[in-house]
Amino acid sequence: MTAPLIVEVTRGSAVESRHNVAVAIATADGRIVESHGDVAAPVFPRSAIKPIQSLGLLESGAADAFAVPEARIALSAASHGGEPMHTSAVLDWLAKIGLDESALECGPHMPTHAATAEAMIRTSTPPGRAHNNCSGKHTGMLTVCRHLGLPTRGYTDAAHPLQKRIEKTFEDFLSVKLDASPRGIDGCSLPQIAVPVSALAVGIVRLGKPDGAFDAARAAACKRMAAAIIANPYMLAGTGRFCTRALIAARGHAVLKTGAEGVYMAAIPAKGIGIALKVADGAGRAAEVAMARLLDKHGGFPDTPRAEIDALVNPVLKNYAGLTVGDIRPAPNW
């Protein structure tokens, strides 16, 4: 096991914080071609696994049966900011499958998009379940249930037939038997299964480069999911979000998704590699800088101006008065 990579946070001329990052880079045949830190320890992938978790929307035929637009396919893999473009799409989608917001088993929370949250506070508008950052994924799952005739109530339970289908999909992508894996419940009430960072790298490269890893039908579903994410970066995350900015910067050369507690996954299809990382202390700011550096290093930004890349790899920190106080950067051991 090699040493983890480190992301530093500076204040003035001093390093104020350091974040340890475990990284695995894999090819679709399951080979780990580069690793840093402990990539064998199980971690909860959280929302980084959503593009695979939501693939049943396509594989089941539900997306076509209900004429789900490509932007909403991206929304099914989203951790969105709760902006009006997200919530209105979720509510309209639910109506089209004959359900309403009460069918969502994710709890409500205020939008993470600050301007939207502030507007709701000014008008004393309480958050609904559609504001939950995972509401697009939940709506996609309900769409699959409606299409397959599965119960919509209790769809988040680990014993529900839909979740059993998703668990089998995870095993196919990650090449890991999940019987003895640690388990938990995600913030949106869905099951979470802990797997090694190395397995996550294998799973995401197979989403980005599925030919040869899967049959033609699954490969087509993977390509459609990846294309929807690339074409709809604002539906995947939202205004100002790192996922959105990095997808735009990649110009179609990478597919990526964040997860809570410092997890990130990305595929660079032209290079045939998948990247997965976990920040030991769960810092999302470190995960973003680490992923930006890895995408830059491994060909995820081949057509991007250097200034645009640097804004992702080495973001400047400002205080509330607008003064520059430091930055976030990969440490010299990168």
pLDDT confidence band for 258 (50 / 70 / 90):
very high
State the residue for tokens 């893999």: 77
Q: How many C-beta atoms lie closer than 10 Å to residue 136's C-beta?
A: 28
Task: Report the percentage of the chain scoring pLDDT > 90.
Answer: 99
Q: Is the pLDDT of residue 308 over 80?
A: yes
Query: Residues 6 or more apart from 136 whose CB is under 8 A from it?
Result: 72, 75, 76, 77, 78, 80, 86, 89, 90, 235
pTM of this structure? 0.96
Give pLDDT, residue 226.
98
Residue 25's φ and ψ, nearest 5 degrees, are -125, 125
Residue closest to 110 by CA, chosen among 99, 125, 92, 94: 125
Q: What is the pLDDT of residues 113-129, one digit of tens each?
A: 999 999 999 999 999 99
pLDDT tens for residues 168-205? 999 999 999 999 999 999 999 999 999 999 999 999 99
pLDDT for 334? 84
Structure-token match 């090819």, residue found: 27
According to the model, what pLDDT value does residue 131 have? 98
| CB atoms closer than 10 angstroms to residue 269 | 21
**What mean pLDDT, rounded, does the chain reach?**
97
- The answer to whether 118 touches 267, Cβ cutoff 8 Å, is no
How much is the pLDDT for 333? 78
